[in-house]
Amino acid sequence: MSETQVPRRGRGRRPATEVRSGVLAAAGRLLIEEGIQAVTFERIAKEAGASKTTLYKWWASPGALAAEAYFLESEPELEFPDTGDLHADLVAQITSFIGLLTRGGAGRPIAELIGAAQTDPDLADAWSRTYALPRRELARARLRAAQRHDELPPDADLDIVIDQLWGACYHRLLVLKVPLGDLDVERLVTSAIRGAGG
Amino acid sequence: MSETQVPRRGRGRRPATEVRSGVLAAAGRLLIEEGIQAVTFERIAKEAGASKTTLYKWWASPGALAAEAYFLESEPELEFPDTGDLHADLVAQITSFIGLLTRGGAGRPIAELIGAAQTDPDLADAWSRTYALPRRELARARLRAAQRHDELPPDADLDIVIDQLWGACYHRLLVLKVPLGDLDVERLVTSAIRGAGG
């Protein structure tokens, strides 16, 4: 666990946006590589060459920073494809998500982050506001498009479809603690779409 | 938070099974009333009039004890009815479960318990072994009965049905952090059964 200190430049030299993205990148890297325990303001400030005061100013807690970092980190891998085929797109999305959690190594840190959110209200708020609810909104948008193309009925309960798809993954990851790789994504998606009347 | 110390009897007077159930009852009560932070061996020993040494001998960690206590505490409320009508029975079961989490006040402690399990391998093991997997087995048994009565097809993926039902609840409780009361249980169950081909 060698700590490579980034050369510290004079305060105020770098634009705030650059400092901010450097901090988020450092936090995301620490979270994935070393887990939630490593995500402290002290450590992130050191890694990103930023001041702790700045971090305290921008984030309510290290957990809140970690949640935002994870959202940014996972965004490119968790894009919602829209090829016009709902089943194929959902299989692709859930497969990417499970891939990120398993092969991508995000399973442990993400479980730790959600775990810590259960006793840390600031983190819970940040997690829900900067990650979970925005991702649900992206999923809703994809499902609404499917309604417009008659792949789902107009009165389908989209939030239940979302709960059934991602809830199944989180159920295995967080509650049952069984390998996610055993989940048959094709059947999961078929079942959720058919269940919604699609 | 007055601590009412139970009068301590002489060591070895009470049979082990009685001590054990007293300890579990005290742990369950502390978990529900005060949350996971209150569940320490020190505190439970005091409340149950047992010795800390005994607790260390029987449970790997306070969290492991809390998981077992929660399983016992919730068992009577979470019985799996079998009236021969799968839809009605699942609605009754999920409604009880959500009632326990909301009106029953178990939402916060159960979230804290699962949360702590994400960074405590002993607790994760105890939770999964003494609560989550046994409850999944009960659900599987009810769904297998439904297969025998042609309410579900013989090749239905029962674990996916389970993930879709309880995963939906845990998804809102742990990940989205949105009120469980908004979940339309009738639609959730209809969707999971129809999705499985029932």
Find the CATH number of the domain harbouring B155.
Answer: 1.10.357.10
Asked whether residue B110 is domain-assigned, the answer is yes
- Name every residue whose Cβ is closer than 8 Å to that of residue B147 and which is 6 or more positions away in sequence: B153, B154, B156, B158
Q: What residues in A contact B171, CB-CB < 8 Å?
A: 163, 166-167, 170-171
DSSP 8-state assignment for residue B38: G
Counting as low any pLDDT under 70, the low residues of chain B are 1-12
DSSP 8-state assignment for residue B129: I
CA-to-CA separations, A94 to A50, A79, A167, A180, B12, in angstroms, rounded: 36, 10, 11, 11, 55
Using the beta-carbon criterion (under 8 Å), do A115 and B114 form an inter-chain contact? yes
Predicted pLDDT at A2? 44
Predicted pLDDT at B6? 52
Asked whether residue A37 is domain-assigned, the answer is no
Asked whether residue B87 is domain-assigned, the answer is yes
CA distance A15 to chain B (A): 34
* Block residue for tokens 């492991």: B64
The tokens describing A81, both together, are 């494809």
CA-to-CA separations, A25 to A45, A54, A71, in angstroms, rounded: 11, 15, 11
- Identify from B174, B184, B189, B194 which residue to disrupt to test chain A contact, counting A C-beta atoms within 10 A and taking the largest count: B174
CA distance B2 to chain A (A): 23
Predicted pLDDT at B12? 52
Q: What residues in A contact B116, CB-CB < 8 Å?
A: 115, 118-119
Closest by CA position to A6, among listed A24, A27, A26: A26
Q: What is the pLDDT along chain A (198 residues), one digit of tens a residue?
A: 444 455 555 555 788 899 999 999 999 999 988 888 889 999 999 999 999 999 999 998 898 899 889 888 887 777 788 999 999 999 999 999 999 899 888 899 899 999 999 988 888 998 998 889 989 999 999 999 999 999 999 999 999 999 999 999 999 999 999 999 999 999 999 999 999 998
Using the beta-carbon criterion (under 8 Å), do A168 and B170 form an inter-chain contact? no
How many folded domains does chain B comprise? 1
Q: Could you report the per-residue pLDDT of B3-38, keeping only the tens digit for each?
A: 445 555 555 578 889 999 999 999 999 998 888 888
Predicted ipTM?
0.87
CA distance B70 to chain A (A): 14
Backbone Cα Rg of chain A: 19
- Identify from B137, B176, B182 which residue to disrupt to test chain A contact, counting A C-beta atoms within 10 A and taking the largest count: B176
Closest residue on chain B to A117 (Cα): B115
Asked whether residue A136 is domain-assigned, the answer is yes
Closest residue on chain B to A198 (Cα): B195
Asked whether residue A188 is domain-assigned, the answer is yes
* Block residue for tokens 């005290």: B26
- Name every residue whose Cβ is closer than 8 Å to that of residue B52 and which is 6 or more positions away in sequence: B41, B42, B45
Q: What residues in A contact B176, CB-CB < 8 Å?
A: 128, 132-133, 136
Asked whether residue A112 is domain-assigned, the answer is yes
B89 sits in the region (left: phi over 0; alpha: psi -120 to 50; else beta) called alpha
Predicted pLDDT at B3? 44
Q: Which H, E and C letters describe chain A, residue by residue?
A: CCCCCCCCCCCCCCCHHHHHHHHHHHHHHHHHHHCHHHCCHHHHHHHHCCCHHHHHHHCCCHHHHHHHHHHHHHCHHHCCCCCCCHHHHHHHHHHHHHHHHCCCCCHHHHHHHHHHHCCCHHHHHHHHHHHHHHHHHHHHHHHHHHHHCCCCCCCCCHHHHHHHHHHHHHHHHHHHCCCHHHCCHHHHHHHHHHHCCC
Using the beta-carbon criterion (under 8 Å), do B183 and A168 form an inter-chain contact? no
Q: Which of A164, A176, A193 sits opposite B136 (nearest CB)?
A: A176
For residue B128, give its domain range: 71-195
Predicted pLDDT at B112? 93
Using the beta-carbon criterion (under 8 Å), do B191 and A124 form an inter-chain contact? no
Asked whether residue A155 is domain-assigned, the answer is yes
Predicted pLDDT at B4? 47
Q: What residues in A contact B169, CB-CB < 8 Å?
A: 167
Closest residue on chain A to B178 (Cα): A128
Using the beta-carbon criterion (under 8 Å), do A168 and B160 form an inter-chain contact? yes
The tokens describing A55, both together, are 């971090």
Asked whether residue B86 is domain-assigned, the answer is yes
Using the beta-carbon criterion (under 8 Å), do A115 and B119 form an inter-chain contact? yes
Size of interface A-B (CB pairs under 8 A): 155
